[in-house]
Structure 1
Amino acid sequence: MFGFITDYFSTKKSSDDMLTRSARDQCWNARDVYFSCLDSHDVISPNSKNAKDICTSEKNKYNENCAISWVRYFNDKRLVDYKKKKLMEENENVTFVDVNPALLEKKIILLHMQ
């Protein structure tokens, strides 16, 4: 009922604000600066305790210039990419393949038809 009031006074940008190219560029640049700062302090996860007291100005710009959902996505992706990289380094002979179950199902059906 009063959702429009909280949205109006929110300091976070919504996804609608991110539709312009310049807004997306500002977000991506702020993200890159923040993540570079984290890298310089050897911090992987932006959500870790170590990240709370460092790179605060970079983090504030990142949060100001990116939608909340984008911040969550970029933070999660950073952690997943790091884990994937470490796993690949530990297992040099392993090849990672992203499997789309729908495509896999189609391939199985095509194999049965031949």
Structure 2
Amino acid sequence: MGWLPWSSGDSNKASDGGRIAPDRTSRARCWEGRDAFFSCLDRNDILDGIKDDKEARRKCAKEVQEFEAACSQTWVKYFKEKRVMEYNRDKTIERIKKEDADKMKELKTQGWKSS
């Protein structure tokens, strides 16, 4: 059962009972699974893999299965939350830049000059 280093078998346990941290290969496999899953979400216009879990599983069944097999549950949750947070951050930055540009345009029409 636990012959894969990222699977849920006992091979992930250290001699003291704690979990063994993923090695470079396991992390790379996880990131590849994440990237494939997120590409599928993008193709299907799904942003939030947690909120829209049923739709994501229906449209990206293979990718979500590979992602969840390659990454720990906490990493899967973290990456899904991070995707939404980064999207919201980028939208906020875009909005602020647009507001700043609009304000600068308004000030220039009123005769204000930047130095």
TM-score by length of 1: 0.64
Matched, 1:20 2:23: yes
Matched, 1:46 2:33: no
Q: Tell me the number of residue pairs that the alignment of Structure 1 and Structure 2 aligns.
A: 85
Equivalent in the alignment of 1:90:
95
Evaluate the alpha carbon distance shift between residue 67 and residue 45 of structure 1 in structure 2; reply closer, same or farther with a 3 A threshold. same
Amino acid at match of 2:28: D
TM-score by length of 2: 0.64
Larger gyration radius, structure 1 or structure 2: 2
Give aligned-pair identity as a percent: 31
User: In the alignment, is the contact (CA less than 8 A) between 2:41 and 2:47 conserved in 1?
Assistant: yes
Matched ranges for 1:1-114 at <5 A: 12=8, 16=19, 18-47=21-50, 48=52, 49-92=54-97
The offset of 1:23, in angstroms, is 0.6
User: What is the root-mean-square deviation of aligned Cα atoms in Å?
Assistant: 2.5
SS in 1 for 2:97: coil
The offset of 1:86, in angstroms, is 1.1
Q: With CA pairs under 8 Å and 6+ residues apart, which has the higher RCO, 1 or 2?
A: 1
Alpha-carbon displacement from aligned partner over 1:1-30 (angstroms, at most 9, x marks no partner): xxxxxxxxxx64769455211111100000
Separation in 1 of the partners of 2:37 and 2:79? Answer: 11
Q: Which runs of 5+ in 1 are unaligned?
A: 1-10, 95-114
Q: Which runs of 5+ in 2 are unaligned?
A: 1-6, 13-17, 100-115
Higher helix share: 1
Separation in 2 of the partners of 1:88 and 1:12? Answer: 40
Alpha-carbon displacement from aligned partner over 1:82-107 (angstroms, at most 9, x marks no partner): 1111111122168xxxxxxxxxxxxx
